[in-house]
Amino acid sequence: MNEFLLLDGARLPTVDPMLLRATSFGHFTSLQVRAGHVDGLDLHFERLDRSTRELFDRPLPADRVRAELRAALREAGADDLSVRVNVFADDDVHLLTRVGPPVPPATRPVRLRTYQHDRAVPHLKHTGTFDLTYYARKAKADGYDDALFHTPTGHISEASIWNICFARGPHLTFPAAPTLAGIRQQTLQRALPTYSTEPVPLAALTTFDAAYLTNSIDPALSVAAINEVTYQPHPESANAIASAYSAVTAQPI
pLDDT at 9 over 90: no
Domain-located, residue 184: yes
**Mean pLDDT on 216-226:** 97
Same domain, 61 and 117: no
Q: What is the DSSP letter of 143?
A: T
* Cβ contact 214:184 at 8 Å: yes
Q: 230 lies in a domain? A: yes
pLDDT for 229 equals: 98
Q: Are residues 89 and 119 in the same domain?
A: no
DSSP character at residue 239: H
pLDDT in tens, 81-110: 999 999 999 889 999 999 999 999 999 999
State whether 147 and 49 are in the same domain. no
Averaged pLDDT of the chain:
95
**How far is Cα 22 from Cα 37, in angstroms, rounded to an integer?**
26
Total domains present in the chain: 2
Q: What percent of the chain has pLDDT over 70?
A: 100
Same domain? For 96 and 114 the reply is no
Are both 56 and 142 inside the same structural domain?
A: no
Q: Residues 61, 170: one domain? A: no
Q: Do 146 and 165 share a domain, yes or no?
A: yes
In this structure, the answer to whether residues 148 and 77 fall within a common structural domain is no
Q: Which residues pair with 222 in a beta bridge?
A: 212
Same domain, 121 and 242: yes
Please report the pLDDT score of residue 3 as a whole number.
Answer: 75
Q: Which residues contact 11 (CB under 8 A, 6 or more apart)?
A: 4, 5
**Number of helices and strands in the chain (H, E):** 6, 16
Report the alpha-carbon distance of residue 199 to residue 175 in Å, rounded: 5
**Quick one: average pLDDT of 175-185?**
97
Please write the tens of the pLDDT for every residue from 17-60.
777 777 789 999 999 999 999 999 999 999 999 999 999 999 99
Beta bridge partners of 81: 33
CA–CA separation, 69 vs 184, rounded Å?
18
> What angle, rounded to 10 degrees, do the helices at 235-246 and 183-191 form?
90
Structural domain range at position 57: 17-100
CB atoms within 10 A of CB 169: 11
**Model-wide pTM > 0.85:** yes
8 within some domain? no
Query: What's the rounded mean pLDDT across residues 173-189?
Result: 97
Half-sphere CA count of 172, side-chain side, radius 13 A: 28
Q: Examine the domain organization and report whether 78 and 40 are in the same domain.
A: yes
Same domain membership, residue 191 and residue 117: yes
Residues 150 and 172 in one domain: yes
